[in-house]
Amino acid sequence: MRSFLGLLTAVVFFCSCQKDNSNIIVTPTPPNLVFRFKFDSTQARLNNIGAPAVMPAGHAGQNPRMNKMSAHYIELAPNAFTALGTGVVAYKAPETTAGGANAIDFSKSFFAGDGQIFYSLPLSTIIPGDYEYLRVSLAYQNFDINFHLDTVINAPGGPYNISQDFPGTVASFVGFNTYIKSFLVKTQNITLNANRAQGYWAFETSGSIMGFPFSNLSSGQAPANATTVVNPISTTSPIPAGSCLVTGAFAGGAKLHITGNETSDIVITVSLSTNHSFEWGDTNGNGKWDATKGEPVFDMGLRGMIPSF
């Protein structure tokens, strides 16, 4: 985040505004199978294999405030031995080779916030049967976090010691590969017209220090396989490396039963754990993200999924 550090400490003022490019979901005629997102900071924090995950020594985390999310793939799996792709694929986002290798086409993505419907499809298209697990391949997250500025500013009458928290917005691409024409972080737009691998991010912040407004936009790429992807059935039904196929059993051990004769909608609430899912190396032990002191971000992966209906 070197570009971010330089711009922030210089207190550069810049402002721009762009229109959001979110697509609109058109709900088909019922009865439908409806997928709704929920973000829960109190839900269990899990690791890649679905076991409880404590914060590693020397790390800290915070609960991101989710604005919206997009998914690339949704699959219903009858049991823990269902191989990826052999269940019922309810949704798959458009892909493209415009950037070279095959990638998610971000310009055609759907987005949903907390409590909002992400996708609906006719129940008549779902093969009747019992389904124990849901798989959702996450593609994009947009959320707000806080960062801490602890520095000295040399100004007339100073120097002044600054120790203050500021808000910022993160746009995080967690899909296997994404072709991005352009995207809006919060108020500022980034144009790429290129592919980006899992872990590409952008960070936007603005505020005021001693009455001087500032704004900053920066971006970067996280290391490969640094994103937590929870899969409690990894031993019987593994997922490809670099994917973000989060897997979860339906709440309470219940199975989703589809008869093929439904007369009303079935709504699946996809509850995703944001429990300290924004994680960094806390080099000074203060529990705050000191971005300007070089504290590295280690993980932005969601920490578990509990679907219910």
Measured in whole angstroms, the distance separating CA 166 from the mean position of its chain's CA atoms is: 21
Q: Which residues of the chain have pLDDT under 50?
A: 1-22, 24
d(CA 142, CA 173): 9
Q: Taking a C-beta distance cutoff of 8 angstroms, is the pair 67, 116 a contact?
A: no
Q: Which residues have a Cβ under 8 Å from the Cβ of 32 and sit 6 or more positions away?
A: 120, 121, 122, 123, 265, 266
Q: What is the pLDDT of residues 211-246, one digit of tens each?
A: 778 888 999 888 888 889 999 999 999 999 888 999
d(CA 139, CA 37): 14
Structure-token pair, residue 199:
């872990």
> What global pTM score does this model have?
0.86
HSE-up of residue 286 (Cα within 13 Å, Cβ side)? 14
Q: Give residue 27's pLDDT.
A: 58
Q: What is the pLDDT of residues 47-74, one digit of tens each?
A: 999 999 999 999 999 999 999 999 999 9
Q: What is the pLDDT of residues 160-171, one digit of tens each?
A: 888 899 999 999
Q: Give residue 242's pLDDT.
A: 84
Total residue count of the chain as it appears in this document: 309
Q: Give residue 233's pLDDT.
A: 97
Q: Give residue 25's pLDDT.
A: 54
Q: Give residue 4's pLDDT.
A: 42
Q: Give residue 253's pLDDT.
A: 94
